[in-house]
Amino acid sequence: MTPKHQRLHDTLGSVLGGRIASLSESRDYLTLVAKAGDYRSACQSLRDDPALRFDQLSDLCGVDYSTYGDRPQEGRRFAAVLHLLSLTHNWRLRLRVFCADDDFPILDSVIEIWPSVNWYEREAFDLFGIVFDGHPDLRRILTDYGFIGHPFRKDFPISGHLEMRYDPEQKRVIYQPVTIEPREIVPRIVREEQYGETGKP
C-alpha cells in the first residue's frame, strides 16, 4: 500500500468507524463495503469530513451477483458500486453496498449528497430494478417506453423477450415473442487460479 493509500485507509477507519463492513485494497484501489442501513450517513461523512472530502461522484452502477463465479452464492444478490473522487485530496474510493432484500432491492438515494447521481440511480433502477428511496424522479431512462423487466439482471436473456417487426397484413408494427435461437459461440469458462500464469512474461 502506498503512503497515500495508507493515509486514506487510516482516515476512513477513524471517520467511519463501525460503519465499515470491510475495507480492502487491491490493484492500487481501495474498496469500502458499507451496510445498507449505514449507507446514507456514510456517504454524508465521506463528502463532508474535511479529511476525506469526496466532493465528486464519478459513477454509480448496479451489479447482480447471482451467477458470480458460476457457483451458488452465499451473500446478497444486488449491489450498487460507487466510484468517488476527491478533487481536494486527489484520491479515489470504491464504495459497495449490498441491498438487504433480494426480492425487492431497495437503497437510500444519495441525490441530496451528490446531485450527479441522479441519472445513475435512474439507470440502476431501469437496468437492475434497484429502488432508490428518496429519489424525486425515479423513471426508466435507457430502455424503451413501456418496457417490462430489468434487462441487466443475469436471468434476463441476451436476446430479450419481445421483438418488433412490421406486419404487412395488419399494416402496422407488431410486437411478438423473440424468434431467434440463443447461441453461445465462445463458452464462458472459469479456470483455476494462476491458469496459464497470466501476467508473467
Partner 1 sequence: MAEIRNYTLNFGPQHPAAHGVLRLVLEMDGEVVQRADPHIGLLHRATEKLAETKTYLQSLPYMDRLDYISLMCNEHSYVLAVERLLGIEVPVRAQYIRVMFDEITRIMNHLFGLGAHGLDLGAMTVFLYCFREREDLLDAYEAVSGARMHAAYYRPGGVYRDLPEKMPLYIAQKSRNARAMGEMNANREGSLLDFLEDFTNRFPGYVDDYETLLTDNRIWKQRTVGIGVISPERAIAKGFSGPMLRGSGVEWDLRKKQPYEVYDRLDFEIPVGVNGDSYDRYLVRVEEMRQSNRIIRQCIDWLRRNPGPVICADHKIAPPSRVDMKSNMEDLIHHFKLFTEGMHVPEGEAYAVIEGPKGEFGVYFISDGANKPYRMKLRSPAYVHLSAMDELSRGHMLADAVTVISTLDIVFGDIDR
Site for partner 1 in 9-68 (CB under 8 A): 26-29, 31, 55-59, 61, 63-64, 68
Q: Does an H or E element contain 81, and which?
A: strand 78-86
Query: By the 8 A CB rule, do 104 and 128 touch?
Result: no
Report d(CA 108, CA 44) in Å as an integer. Answer: 12
Q: Check residue 141 for interaction with partner 1 (CB under 8 A).
A: yes
CB of 144 to partner 1, least distance (A): 7
Q: Check residue 144 for interaction with partner 1 (CB under 8 A).
A: yes
Report d(CA 152, CA 52) in Å as an integer. Answer: 33
Q: Check residue 198 for interaction with partner 1 (CB under 8 A).
A: yes
Size of the site for partner 1 (CB under 8 A): 50
Question: Which range, of 12-20, 81-89, 97-105, 169-177, touches partner 1 by CB under 8 A?
Answer: 81-89
Q: Check residue 168 for interaction with partner 1 (CB under 8 A).
A: no
Burial 161-175 (b: 16+ CB within 10 A, else e): eeeeeeeeeeeeeee
Q: Check residue 109 for interaction with partner 1 (CB under 8 A).
A: no
Report d(CA 29, CA 94) in Å as an integer. Answer: 7
| Among the listed residues 3, 70, 155, 173, the single contact to partner 1 using CB under 8 A | 70
DSSP conformational letter for 103: S
CB of 44 to partner 1, least distance (A): 14
Q: Which residues pair with 131 in a beta bridge?
A: 106
Residues with Cβ within 8 Å of residue 21, at least 6 apart in sequence: 33, 34, 35
CB of 189 to partner 1, least distance (A): 5
Give the residues lining the site for partner 1 (CB under 8 A): 26-29, 31, 55-59, 61, 63-64, 68-70, 81, 83, 87, 90, 92, 94, 114-119, 140-144, 151-152, 158, 184, 186, 188-191, 193, 195-201
